[in-house]
Structure 1
Amino acid sequence: MIVRPFRGLRPRRDMIEKVAAKPYDVVTTEEARKEAQKNPYTFYKITRPEINFDGEVDTHSDEVILKGKEVLEQFQKDGIMILEDKPAIYVYREEWKGYSQTGIYATFSTKEYKDGKIKKHELTRKDKEDERARHVKLMKAHTGPVFLMYRSIPEVDNLIIKHTSKEPEYDYTDESGIHHILWIVKNENEINEIVEAFKKIDAFYIADGHHRAAAAARAAEELAKENPNHTGEEEYNYFLAVLFPHTQLHILDYNRVVKDLNGHSKEEFLKKISENFNIEETEKFKPSKKHEFGMYLDEKWYRLTAKKGTYNENDVVSSLDVSILQENLLKPILGIENPRTDKRINFVGGIKGIEELERLVNNGEYKVAFALYPTDIEDLLRVADEEKTMPPKSTWFEPKLKSGIIVHLM
């Protein structure tokens, strides 16, 4: 597999805490605007460029996106962000709540993505792909990384960790309590050692950022057509990502809340559930193993255990807990045919805890909540290897990757 060094655009060491920001899609425009009022150097000015305007604007318009590009260029002119003097690979570690993941920032081949060597496990929406591809083309940059993983090989993992004994360029803890450390590898022999090591690996896997990867490939295709001197080595043929060994990654539960019981009384609802699940009333309940679910209804917790025959043990997608819940409860009983589009269902990341499920039901916003056991990373890899697709909202990786730590200019 191809791992390619590049000249990263990154914040000056004393500015990293001010510039780096959460991914654009986990904050609202209003939240980004409030941050910018306190901190004029936030990367939201680039990834949420509508906050550079007063009042309502079309967030997808060329004018708004190009304003973000203008701010990025200004950050570079003002020395807030600096362009690396030569190609580098960046070793990066995140530490959070006792977990640690150490990988590399590099650029990766859009051709390998199109050839299926960078494997995916989710469907992408064409409209979102279009929007992100246009953003890449107008910005002439990848402003946020794709989150990749590879099947852990100790000798490769150790080769990366070897560089963490040096003096880091960044070492700080952010507002969410995540500790970020980054080392820069510029020595050509050391870079080549890393590049050669990854050539022995057969595939990379997308953990998070399917739309970013698809958009990068789409933008590369369009830019190649527009370039009569296209060689395949241009920067647009490569996209920004952070690559971690799969054994270090941490998937949290991704829970569900539903607004009503689809016309059923509580008694009817429980009776219908009992056809496919064993039900047991319990104290506050967080599932501790596969095929076990917590359900919160009318200020009571229930343990649901899937009965034999509700799923095919030999089919990786059918035996996922998100599939078991969807096919045996959400769809047939609650009438949620398509969880992607049905407005009666919502999804709650496990980082908020099951207390958030109780809160949403107790305040009347939702009628019932379901707590799931986190998807196993080996199941995710198997889905990708078998070229299958996970149901929507199957995985919640934590910690997330921030934007603005490194930018890839095209």
Structure 2
Amino acid sequence: MAKIIPFQAVRPTRDKVSLVTCRSYEDYTTAELAAQLDFNPLSFLHVIKPAYTNQEKVTFEKRYRQVHQKYQDFKLENILVQDKKPAIYIHQIITKTQSYTGLIVGSSVADYCNNTIKKHEETLDYRVRLLKEYMKHAEFNTEPVLMTYPDNKIIENWIFNQTQKLADFEFSSTKKETNYLWKIDDPLEISWIQNIFSKIPSLYIADGHHRFQAAQLLSQEFPQDNNKAHLLSYLISENTIKVYEFNRLVRDLNGWSKPAFIAALESNFIVENKDQQPYQPTAKQEFGMYLDGAFYKLTYRNRATKTHDVLENLDTQIIYHTILLPLLAIQDLRNDERIEYLSGKQSILELKQQVDEGSFAVGFILYPSNINEIKALADNNLIMPPKSTYIEPKFRSGMVVYEL
């Protein structure tokens, strides 16, 4: 059964929160990053990237220690302040098209080990080791693992009632997202919601597999440290999570001419030329393709006789086994430099532009997976192919910090 705990978060003061919090470091363009670091001394990016000012190249361990020191500086300057009592937090993000509301808690590493917290994504050992060392030396975590729980009216009603109160803070980001945070530090309320979650059989990781595995290694190194036995998590009902696809861009046709490549596709797909009409798939096992100035619709021929194997029925698996591997000779989806990915949040016209400019020879447009596929894979201990899903919401760094 799922175990959650309250914790004493370190948070920006109410007057500074809009200046402190930031997106994930990788989400910024070079120009955006420079602007934030040059002109906003309160940005949490200064904690994440403390060597920026001197543009120095340092070892991983030295950088992690600099992160820790800069974090301590922010606390000494009262930019970040620790709550006096353990609490759980309700966080709401409202965008132009979506609204997400979830619980920020500490989740149990033991639950991850015993598969109460279920996984669907393969991790890379080197990334896990780096994250573990980062957590060890920085001694905090501010990017929660995103997890889902089954729709639950009791939790939904409780969250609704709590969010009718005045939020601890409210602020808007430069991406025109409005963020709210409510602190729940009443022991009776905390005990009540812990009891509700203790009756939920499983939680499912949506985003953050590497963080959880790194936390597992850290807890093994410090078995007596209760803080390291838990990890910052954002729990959200599965009916509100948003799953986008990752589209594929390939640099060349692996020696195929255009007519020969299309002919080869026809052994597994019904190929329809859409010419200049941008094509977005409207159902599973349909694919879009952009090649040499034209869009195509690819309909998988075996869809009527598909197996009950949830992994083999994934669109990302189908396109890998029918096109990327046998025709384009792409074996390693993570590391092959001939393939790149665009999230489904980006327009397919961006994909078209990159092909038209000659950076890539062909682009493939996929239909997004859904939470039921993710759960089915996790329940059967199966792993999604790399870059199968781009999942929202995304949490802002520096808004809630969990100290390890």
Identity value in percent? 32
Query: 2:280 maps to what in 1?
Result: 286
What secondary structure is seen at the aligned counterpart in 2 of 1:347? strand
Deviations 1:145-201 (A, max 9, x none): 111111212212222222110101122221112221111111111111111110110
Q: CA deviation at 1:299?
A: 1.2
Query: 1:57 maps to what in 2?
Result: 57
Letter in 1 for 2:362: V
Gap change, CA 1:92 and 1:43, over 3 Å in 2 = same
Query: 1:357 maps to what in 2?
Result: 351
Query: 1:242 maps to what in 2?
Result: 234
Asked if structure 2 preserves the Cα contact closer than 8 Å seen for 1:49 and 1:65, the reply is no
Deviations 1:288-330 (A, max 9, x none): 1111111011111001111116984301111011111111111
Deviations 1:193-217 (A, max 9, x none): 1111101101111100111111111
Query: 1:190 maps to what in 2?
Result: 189
Matches of 2:365 and 2:26, distance apart in 1: 23
Query: 1:227 maps to what in 2?
Result: none
Q: CA deviation at 1:34?
A: 3.5
Matches of 1:128 and 1:3, distance apart in 2: 26
Asked if structure 2 preserves the Cα contact closer than 8 Å seen for 1:144 and 1:402, the reply is yes
Letter in 2 for 1:22: R
Q: CA deviation at 1:28?
A: 6.4
What secondary structure is seen at the aligned counterpart in 2 of 1:10? strand
Asked if structure 2 preserves the Cα contact closer than 8 Å seen for 1:311 and 1:319, the reply is no
Query: 1:316 maps to what in 2?
Result: 310
Query: 2:24 maps to what in 1?
Result: 23
Q: Does 1:338 align with 2:332?
A: yes
Letter in 2 for 1:350: G
Q: CA deviation at 1:29?
A: 7.0
Asked if structure 2 preserves the Cα contact closer than 8 Å seen for 1:33 and 1:51, the reply is no
Matches of 2:117 and 2:231, distance apart in 1: 12
Alignment of 1:128-143 (within 5 A): 128-143=127-142
Query: 2:106 maps to what in 1?
Result: 107
Please identify runs of 4+ aligned residues in structure 1 that moved more than 6 A.
none
What secondary structure is seen at the aligned counterpart in 2 of 1:217? helix
Deviations 1:230-249 (A, max 9, x none): 2x6x2111110111011000
Q: Does 1:409 align with 2:394?
A: no
Q: CA deviation at 1:72?
A: 0.9
TM-score (structure 1 length as normaliser): 0.94
Q: How many residues matched?
A: 401
Matches of 2:156 and 2:240, distance apart in 1: 10
Asked if structure 2 preserves the Cα contact closer than 8 Å seen for 1:205 and 1:381, the reply is yes
What secondary structure is seen at the aligned counterpart in 1 of 2:4? coil
TM-score (structure 2 length as normaliser): 0.96
Gap change, CA 1:299 and 1:311, over 3 Å in 2 = farther
Letter in 1 for 2:385: P
Gap change, CA 1:111 and 1:30, over 3 Å in 2 = farther
Q: CA deviation at 1:278?
A: 0.6
Gap change, CA 1:28 and 1:56, over 3 Å in 2 = farther
Match of 2:384 among 390, 405, 408: 390
Match of 1:271 among 234, 238, 263: 263
Letter in 2 for 1:55: Q
Gap change, CA 1:274 and 1:315, over 3 Å in 2 = same
What secondary structure is seen at the aligned counterpart in 1 of 2:163? helix
What is the alpha-carbon root mean square deviation over aligned residues?
1.6
What secondary structure is seen at the aligned counterpart in 2 of 1:248? coil
Letter in 1 for 2:402: H
Match of 1:326 among 320, 333, 339: 320
Query: 1:209 maps to what in 2?
Result: 208
Gaps of 5+ in 1: 225-229
Matches of 1:49 and 1:208, distance apart in 2: 26
Letter in 2 for 1:354: I
